[in-house]
Amino acid sequence: MNVRTSLRSPAIVDQLILSDLVIASPSAGELIFGSYKPNAYKQTAMTSSQYGHFGTKGPFAGAHNFEMYKTKLIDRSCNHNYFIQGGTRYLRSVLDHLLAAGTPEAWLDAGARHPPPKCHPGSRRTIKRKLEEWIFKLYHQQKIVWLRGSAGVGKSAIAQTFAELARERGRLGAAYFFFALDDRRSHPLRLVPSLAFQLAVLNEPYKQALTHLLATDPSILYAALHIQFQKLIIDPFSLLASHSQQATEEPYLVIIDGLDECNDERAQCELVQLINGAAQRKDVPLLWLVCSRPESHLKYTFSRPDYSILYDQQELPIDDETREDVDRYLRDSFKNILASHRHVIAVPQDGCWPRQDDFDVISRASSGLFVFASAVVRVVDDSSISDPKIQLKSLLTMLKDFDDIGVRNPLQALDIFYTRILSKVPEHILPLSTHILGFYIYQDHLGLRYLTAGCIQFYCGIEEGDFVSAMQKLHSVVKVPSPEDAPENQLSFYHRSFSDHLRSRRRSGKYHLPLEKFLSTFATNGLRVYNQILAWQRPNLVAFEEHAHSRTLLDKWSSRTNLTLPELEAEVGVEALGSLSRVERDTDYFEVIRRFNFSLLEDGYDVKRFLEAAIHQDWNTNIGKGFIRTNAIDEVTDSQLFRHLSVLTGGKSIRPIDITCAEPLGGLKPYIMEYAILGEGSKSCLICLYGKNARDYHAISLKAQAPPSTNEISKFRRWEKEIRR
């Protein structure tokens, strides 16, 4: 008998019978009750007549004629130790699954948010007093507060500061900070599991009710938003109330910051409606602080008549108090800079740095906008230059025209400020700088996951020194990882407003970064890297020099990305191919296609996507006549491909694809085999197609370097059998 137990204490063993134990087989990945044998098991509940073989007490009392191999016993009386089947080789606890479904990077103390924005000491007195009165009073008529304000006024800083205060007083239930530039932190279906996990860690009765529900139905984690909210938030509290259990004496606070940065507007509105429904229930002891910009769809949702009793809204205006707070932050920051740079800054006799008139210029330009003021401080204290005196002089020159604009429209002043910062990037480096920024901004549109700085270098083929140079003038608006940290850490904007600026042609002018440009750029770079991966994986189909070159490049870049080679192939190859049909073609794109070695492609998805793109985008026009063809142009390669086609078909002829018609693939006849050759010279391949219709067809790719394989011939024979039917 080889048994591992997972019981809270030895005393519990005597209280259990065999039918109360979950016997988990890691090797089979199954949960069963009662006796277990490898490859043959049945459910068994022990009867009183069977007790006695192992004594009269204990979980194995009366059990006989069974064996257990590599089993795991789990105490079901401890609800949060319930296990959910996690695959054929392992089991994961309910809370493990819940954690995986959430996004810890978006939580209060997440390393991905470090250092988080916080209110400067002594600032935001009015709004903090109102929020404290709301959450710490005895009776809560209004269970929702919508904290709204324009870009850069400090909503996230207030959410962070207030969350820490609520936690100190034992009232914080959960906090989630949406972030538009991170696909995980902006996904609506990751919010509710995140909130539920935090509540479960905090509250034992809620944890037991939640894990019981999840162990019964793990599919909740993959359900729609309203189902998740009902099952993970409402039902556990309702279950406790139905058993006359109270989860908490005082309501917990749930903070959702940056709701407008959730990547689905409909989900934003739905979430507000779900929160409103929860606020109407007496058995859900939660208060909700929702922070966002006053977007029109959110204003419309919150304006519903039935919300007025349950929620309050607090506006964060740019008023005299806010301007005083920003000035206090600026003065204290300049004092800290002066204290740490006395060796380069000549301190005036009055001990005030900068001078009052210079400070007034900065104050008027900032005009109560915290994001502006924090960017100003980063400009002056730029570690890559380490001379605040020179930086201050440069900053004042930049701000000389801002006085009137800042007072009239702080957001317009912020746009001008961002434009001036971008203008400091040398012209010969600017294309590379914007290239990097665009990849970071649009990574979710490109279908990529968490892109580290090293990944961006890898995809774009950027040398480490060039990457550092491209980002050097942007440290005041972009947090750039050091070269040592680049493989594991992302770029990050200090504020979303910089991304908004770059996405808007009206606001950023010549620095505008359109999505279409980066779809093309990604396809170009992705195909280049994908070709290197294929050459490394198929050494028998390429020259030794080409294989060695590809291996050298991949080894060089592997230190800059946290992806394995199969992950690289999946990320780069599949997504690059997926973007082929929607890119804005340019010279670089067609040059990469011309150089691509199509003979390295395997049958299936890749071949079909290339063929579709070649026909729909008319590569013959843009690359050269005969790039896609049905007759022999290259005497050596094409002739060999046709010989291989004859071997594949057993000497039978199949018809060529009509590449001259507008929709050649749409014209594929059901159960008819057709072919075309794609590529240039020795890098060509012959693609044989067959399908039931134009949407559902299969491909075989033939290479000049090797005859058709046994599998390819067998596949073709199966096609023939289907045709005869």
Would you state the structure tokens that stand for residue 143, as one six-digit string? 């269970």
Q: Do residue 349 and residue 452 come from a single domain?
A: no
> In angstroms, rounded to a whole number, what is the distance separating the alpha carbons of residues 260 and 249?
32
Burial of residue 170, with CB atoms counted within 10 A of its CB: 0-12 exposed, 13-18 middle, 19 or more buried = exposed
Roughly what angle, to the nearest 10 degrees, separates helices 235-242 and 204-216? 110
Domain that holds residue 724: 603-725
pLDDT score for 138: 59
Q: Do residue 69 and residue 113 come from a single domain?
A: no
> In angstroms, rounded to a whole number, what is the distance separating the alpha carbons of residues 614 and 577?
12
Residue 97 maps to a domain: no
> In angstroms, rounded to a whole number, what is the distance separating the alpha carbons of residues 523 and 439?
12
> In angstroms, rounded to a whole number, what is the distance separating the alpha carbons of residues 96 and 260?
29
Name the residue with tokens 């992705």. Answer: 526
User: Is the CB of residue 293 less than 8 Å from the CB of residue 150?
Assistant: yes
Whole-model pTM over 0.75: no
pLDDT score for 53: 40
User: Is the CB of residue 593 less than 8 Å from the CB of residue 679?
Assistant: no
Q: Which of 76, 100, 62, 56 is nearest to 12 (CA)?
A: 76
Q: Do residue 232 and residue 145 come from a single domain?
A: yes
pLDDT score for 556: 65
Total domains, the chain? 5
pLDDT score for 482: 87
Residues 250-266: tens digit of each pLDDT: 899 999 999 999 999 99
Domain C-terminal end among 405, 420, 435? 420
Q: Which of 409, 165, 147 is nearest to 293 (CA)?
A: 147
pLDDT greater than 70 at residue 620 = yes
pLDDT greater than 70 at residue 113 = yes
pLDDT over 70 percentage in the chain:
77
Q: Which of 69, 73, 70, 81 is nearest to 19 (CA)?
A: 73
Q: Which of 217, 180, 181, 201 is nearest to 82 (CA)?
A: 217
Residues 117-165: tens digit of each pLDDT: 899 998 999 999 999 989 887 566 789 999 999 888 889 999 999 999 9
Instruction: Write the DSSP assignment of 157-202 as a string of letters.
Output: HHHHHHHHHHHHTT-EEEEEE--TT-TTTT-GGGHHHHHHHHHHHH
User: Is the CB of residue 379 less than 8 Å from the CB of residue 337?
Assistant: no
Residues 228-253: tens digit of each pLDDT: 999 999 999 999 988 878 777 789 99
> In angstroms, rounded to a whole number, what is the distance separating the alpha carbons of residues 279 and 195?
16
Would you state the structure tokens that stand for residue 145, as one six-digit string? 């507060």
Q: Do residue 725 and residue 676 come from a single domain?
A: yes
Domain C-terminal end among 275, 293, 315? 315
pLDDT greater than 80 at residue 557 = no
Q: Which of 145, 333, 149 is nearest to 251 (CA)?
A: 145
> In angstroms, rounded to a whole number, what is the distance separating the alpha carbons of residues 724 and 722?
5
Highest mean pLDDT among 174-178, 323-327, 692-696: 174-178
pLDDT greater than 70 at residue 486 = yes
Would you state the structure tokens that stand for residue 218, as one six-digit string? 């793990």
> In angstroms, rounded to a whole number, what is the distance separating the alpha carbons of residues 256 and 178?
8
Q: Do residue 186 and residue 139 come from a single domain?
A: yes
> In angstroms, rounded to a whole number, what is the distance separating the alpha carbons of residues 287 and 310?
10
pLDDT band at 171 (very low <50, low <70, confident <90, very high): very high
> In angstroms, rounded to a whole number, what is the distance separating the alpha carbons of residues 606 and 526?
13
> In angstroms, rounded to a whole number, what is the distance separating the alpha carbons of residues 571 and 548?
23
pLDDT score for 461: 78
Name the residue with tokens 């750029």. Answer: 521
pLDDT score for 546: 82
Which range has the worst mean pLDDT, 300-309, 571-580, 584-593?
571-580
Q: Do residue 411 and residue 438 come from a single domain?
A: no
In terms of pLDDT, which residue wins out, 39 or 109? 109
User: Is the CB of residue 528 less than 8 Å from the CB of residue 459?
Assistant: no
Estimate to the nearest angstrom the gap between the alpha carbon of 233 and the chain centroid: 24
> In angstroms, rounded to a whole number, what is the distance separating the alpha carbons of residues 544 and 700?
26
Contacts of 664 (CB under 8 A, 6+ apart): 615, 657, 658
pLDDT score for 15: 30
The H helix count followed by the E strand count for the chain is 30, 18
Which range has the worst mean pLDDT, 64-78, 377-391, 419-433, 658-672?
64-78
pLDDT greater than 90 at residue 62 = no
Q: Do residue 234 and residue 118 come from a single domain?
A: yes
pLDDT score for 352: 83
Would you state the structure tokens that stand for residue 105, as one six-digit string? 């990077």
Query: Residues of 346-374 as b/e, b for ≥16 C-beta within 10 angstroms?
Result: eeeeeeebbeeebbebbbbbbbbbbbbbb
pLDDT greater than 60 at residue 409 = yes
pLDDT score for 382: 83
> In angstroms, rounded to a whole number, what is the distance separating the alpha carbons of residues 34 and 13?
15
Residue 200 maps to a domain: yes
Would you state the structure tokens that stand for residue 277, as one six-digit string? 């429904």
Distant-in-sequence contacts of 537-541, Cβ < 8 A, 24+ apart: 537/565, 537/569, 537/600, 538/600, 540/705, 540/706, 541/599, 541/600, 541/703, 541/705, 541/706
Residues 274-325: tens digit of each pLDDT: 999 999 999 999 999 999 999 999 999 998 877 666 788 899 888 889 999 9
pLDDT band at 710 (very low <50, low <70, confident <90, very high): very high
Would you state the structure tokens that stand for residue 576, as one six-digit string? 């690059």
Domain C-terminal end among 420, 446, 474? 420
Cα distances from 678 to residues 542, 598, 703, in angstroms, run 17, 7, 11
Burial of residue 531, with CB atoms counted within 10 A of its CB: 0-12 exposed, 13-18 middle, 19 or more buried = buried
User: Is the CB of residue 498 less than 8 Å from the CB of residue 477?
Assistant: yes
> In angstroms, rounded to a whole number, what is the distance separating the alpha carbons of residues 656 and 676?
6
Please name the amino acid found at residue 74. Answer: I
Q: Do residue 156 and residue 288 come from a single domain?
A: yes
SS3 277: helix
> In angstroms, rounded to a whole number, what is the distance separating the alpha carbons of residues 331 and 377?
10
Q: Do residue 127 and residue 242 come from a single domain?
A: yes
Q: Do residue 437 and residue 532 come from a single domain?
A: yes
| CATH, residue 238 | 3.40.50.300
Residue 90 maps to a domain: no
Residue 91 maps to a domain: no
> In angstroms, rounded to a whole number, what is the distance separating the alpha carbons of residues 27 and 68?
12
Residue 250 maps to a domain: yes
In terms of pLDDT, which residue wins out, 94 or 271? 271
> In angstroms, rounded to a whole number, what is the distance separating the alpha carbons of residues 255 and 159?
7
Residue 678 maps to a domain: yes
Beta bridge partners of 639: none
Highest mean pLDDT among 11-25, 37-51, 239-253: 239-253
Q: Both ends of the chain: CA-CA distance in Å?
A: 56
> In angstroms, rounded to a whole number, what is the distance separating the alpha carbons of residues 507 and 144?
34
Interval 537-551 mean pLDDT: 82
Instruction: Write the DSSP assignment of 555-621 as a string of letters.
Output: HHHHTT-S--HHHHIIIIIIHHHHTGGG----HHHHHHHHH--GGGPPTTHHHHHHHHHHHHTTHHH
Residue 99 maps to a domain: no
Under DSSP, the state recorded for 151 is T
Distant-in-sequence contacts of 113-121, Cβ < 8 A, 24+ apart: 113/177, 116/156, 116/160, 116/177, 117/154, 117/156, 117/157, 117/160, 118/157, 118/160, 118/161, 118/164, 119/154, 119/157, 119/158, 119/160, 119/161, 120/325, 120/328, 120/329, 120/332, 121/332
pLDDT score for 63: 56
pLDDT score for 575: 61
Please name the amino acid found at residue 104. Answer: P
> In angstroms, rounded to a whole number, what is the distance separating the alpha carbons of residues 684 and 628?
9
Would you state the structure tokens that stand for residue 433, as one six-digit string? 């700088």
CA angle 321, 326, 328 (to 5 degrees): 95
Would you state the structure tokens that stand for residue 153, as one six-digit string? 């006024």
Q: Do residue 641 and residue 508 come from a single domain?
A: no
pLDDT band at 75 (very low <50, low <70, confident <90, very high): very low
Q: Do residue 447 and residue 404 come from a single domain?
A: no
Residue 461 maps to a domain: yes
pLDDT score for 98: 92
* Helix, strand, coil abundance in the chain, percent, nearest 5: 50, 10, 35
Residues 679-688: tens digit of each pLDDT: 999 999 999 8
